[in-house]
Structure 1
Amino acid sequence: MDMESQEPKVTQKKARPVISSGNVELDSRMGGGLPGGSLVLIEGGSGSGKSVLSQQIMYGALKDGYRISLFTSESTVRSIIPQMSSIDMDIQDFLLMRRMRVYPVEFSKIGEDATVRLFRAMMKEVKSDVIVVDSLTSAMTVDVDESRILSFFEEAKRLCDTGKTVIVTLHPGGAVASYLDRLRSICDANLVLLSEADGQRMVKMLKVVKIRGGASATGAIVGFEVEPGWGMRVIPISKARG
């Protein structure tokens, strides 16, 4: 055998899949989309658009063939269908095909080990590519143990190491503010939604704090509107601010 004629095999690193929102303009502001296998934290106050953004990402992922599991304290199966349909996201077929599963959760009835039981439920979603928790805030009002909250994020990060993408929405106020920076450091991506009063209307903005492993988009600020029959529409910041 001619040893010199043999060429060494080059192992190419497999590219990470990208989770697209299905909105080209929004994806471009997020560096092309969210890298698959990421732990994503979406922060924002009440009415800032956390649920709409998570729904936009879910819908884009569904259209790209991914399977979704949604744990929600904000909606029921019956209410989320017309809610998403009103912003041009028809999920009924995805639910019927069981490519999307919705689990309404009443954290107040679970008690102080809410985050522990939530993660156990997430672990059972072996067929899902993307797991969304909207919102973790209500769980944190009954499970106030800082170590358990941090453990939830650390375990979620390990779950992402298996290839799953986990998206968590959270209100940044209250007790969590004291250790929010630690939660952010655990996450691969951090998106912050802002809602500001401008005269007679509320202006919504998305700040891309970080997306680890994505194209450079850190610090990008996006103005957006949520329009019936359309969904999220990116608008110039100058217009967003009026």
Structure 2
Amino acid sequence: MRQIRRRIGEWLPREEDVVARFRKEFAAHARKRANAAQTNSAVADLAAFIRDDPVVRMDFTRAIGQAREAGFKLGYADIDEFIVLLDAMLTYAPPFSESSLIHCPVNALLDWPMVMPSGYALFRDPAFNAHLKRVLNVWSAFVSGPYSREHLNTRSPNGWFSHEADSKIGLSQFLCDPAKPYWGYASWNHFFTREFKPGARPVAQPGNDKVIFSACEASPYNIHDNVKLQDAFWIKSQPYSLIETNSDISSMAGRLIA
């Protein structure tokens, strides 16, 4: 029976078999790559931290085991194998896909261990999260650089400028130049945060500071009345307080809270 999971934010496909297939295929690539590539220092530091902290090592080992015992195909069987895959992720630029688009590859690796009983303990550990943040910052730097443009081309089915992608995205709405290499985009992130052409998305009442505009290609997720500065509400199924969403929120409180 096909497993469907409502993944937060929809950054991964809902069908578990699609994500499991991605993990399996990526694991094969990562293991082949490991024979020739040097481990990134941020990943090596994370591996050393896990190795040297018995509680973290225990929680991670158990989280992996619990996910595998529950029947999920992770693409790795232990921490050492996970590290190999994580290192390969740092040079991964998402290809276009009509059916199995995976924007956040690290989420695909940790999707199930994170929600296991031992995973809840592991991902509350500040030191572990600090190391993981360093790793994610390295990936962020990669997708912000020129080597991340592997799939910024017109080749089907994985090119972001292919006919299949264009039919989903509507590239004519955006500032780009097909005559230039990579259509003028300097990186994957540059493409991902591409700008609309002037007038493509008219702004309603631009002079009215009481109107809140969407800063990206999105629609309102939820509307809640009488919100307090310290109040519980949910974004993508996660609880937040208004004061936690912006470090400058206190100075903006008078404008945001009636």
* More strand as a share of residues: 1
Could you state the TM-score of these two structures normalised by the residue count of structure 1? 0.28
The higher radius of gyration belongs to 2
Asked which structure has the greater RCO (Cα within 8 Å, sep 6+), the reply is 1
Could you state the TM-score of these two structures normalised by the residue count of structure 2? 0.27
